[in-house]
Amino acid sequence: MPLGAAQPPGPVTQGGQTLRAHKEGIFAYFTHRITTAVCEGFNSVIETIKKNARGFRCFAHFRDRILFHLGRLDLRTPATAPA
């Protein structure tokens, strides 16, 4: 490569560009102490359910499976549920 020719950015330069691009979110974390980790975890579970199911014919079945795996499906019958 001739002297003075443009070179691709190195890892340090790319790291700096990444930090600069995400600086608003990084500073927001230190201000509010909130992340999207829980949401990302839910999305990961949902994507795994979709992949393992190979397609649902009925949205209600898909919804039930998601609620079951995320712990929000009440399997008790109305007669045994607390009032």
What is the pLDDT tens value at each position of the chain, 83 positions in all? 566 667 777 888 899 999 999 999 899 999 998 888 888 999 999 999 988 888 788 888 888 888 888 887 777 766 665 65
What's the pTM value of the predicted model, to 2 decimals?
0.55
**DSSP at 54:** T
Q: What is the DSSP letter of 76?
A: S
Element housing 23 (H / E)? helix 23-32
**CA 37 vs CA 22, 30, 33, 62: distances in Å:** 16, 15, 12, 23
CA–CA distance, 78 with 83 (Å, rounded to integer): 9
